[in-house]
């Protein structure tokens, strides 16, 4: 595992361009020519804060990039870590790498103080809708009208407790994710630029 930096832009761009099905499913279009640059240089939406944002790359024995993860520490509240993107290279689909990677990521986050993992899943991305609940994620809220690229999506806000505190404790802490809580006039989730709302897995 390595942290991805600006000097990794070209490699990350190539990685994204080899996953057109993912970007079409969540953005309605393939990765743009500057997708990686926008990702690595992106910022959180106005009003959102986190302690630190990580872009992580996973390499094989030949030093080839096989997976990437975007995760934000202490987003919305202390102890809430938001997985913005978890993507495994197509040649590793079906290998179990995504599950192993997630297990390692979870243990790493716990070691740094995480109590919950949070993510959003685009409704209609059937691979992601099947994958995340198998890992223990629970839908706490459904949001409509989330613009991503060329399309507007319906998304599931999902949470997984990874310490002793459960879902009820999470909802007591994060008001915006409570079922029935008032929606802001213009709803925002961190988007792909900097912190994706589309936490999907190409497993």
Q: What is the pLDDT of residues 142-191, one digit of tens each?
A: 988 888 878 888 899 999 999 888 999 999 999 989 987 666 544 445 44
Q: What is the pLDDT of residues 95-137, one digit of tens each?
A: 788 899 999 999 999 999 999 999 999 998 888 899 999 999 9
Pairing of β 80-88 and β 65-73: antiparallel
pTM comes to: 0.84
Domain count, the chain: 1
**51 occurs within a structural domain:** yes
Q: What percent of the chain has pLDDT over 70?
A: 88
**45 occurs within a structural domain:** yes
Distances in Å between the Cα of 176 and the Cα atoms of 10, 188, 201 are 36, 11, 24
Q: What is the pLDDT of residues 64-104, one digit of tens each?
A: 888 999 999 999 999 999 998 898 887 777 778 889 999 99
Residue 9 belongs to domain spanning: 2-177
Q: Distance between CA atoms of 128 and 106, rounded to whole angstroms? A: 17
60 near 95, Cβ under 8 Å?
no
> Quick one: CA dihedral 194, 126, 166, 176, positive or negative?
positive
- Per-residue pLDDT at 45 exceeds 80: no
Question: Looking at residue 116, which CATH number applies to its domain?
Answer: 3.40.630.30
pLDDT of residue 198: 38
**201 occurs within a structural domain:** no
**186 occurs within a structural domain:** no
- Per-residue pLDDT at 200 exceeds 50: no
């Amino acid at each position: 595992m390595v942290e991805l930096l600006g000097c990794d832009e070209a490699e990350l761009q190539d990685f994204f361009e080899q996953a057109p099905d993912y970007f079409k499913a969540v953005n309605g279009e393939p990765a743009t020519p500057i997708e990686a640059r926008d990702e690595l240089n992106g910022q959180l939406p106005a009003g959102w804060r986190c302690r630190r944002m990580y872009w992580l790359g996973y390499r094989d024995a030949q030093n080839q990039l096989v997976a990437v993860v975007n995760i934000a520490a202490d987003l919305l509240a202390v102890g809430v870590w938001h997985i913005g993107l978890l993507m495994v290279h197509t040649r590793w689909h079906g290998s179990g790498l995504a599950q192993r990677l997630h297990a390692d990521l979870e243990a790493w986050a716990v070691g740094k103080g995480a109590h919950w993992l949070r993510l959003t899943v685009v409704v209609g991305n059937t691979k992601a809708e099947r994958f995340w609940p198998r890992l223990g994620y629970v839908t706490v809220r459904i949001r409509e009208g989330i613009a991503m690229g060329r399309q507007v999506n319906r998304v599931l806000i999902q949470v997984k407790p990874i310490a002793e505190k459960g879902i009820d404790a999470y909802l007591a802490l994060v008001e915006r994710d409570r079922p029935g809580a008032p929606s802001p006039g213009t709803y925002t989730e961190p988007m792909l630029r900097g912190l994706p709302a589309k936490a999907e897995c190409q497993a």
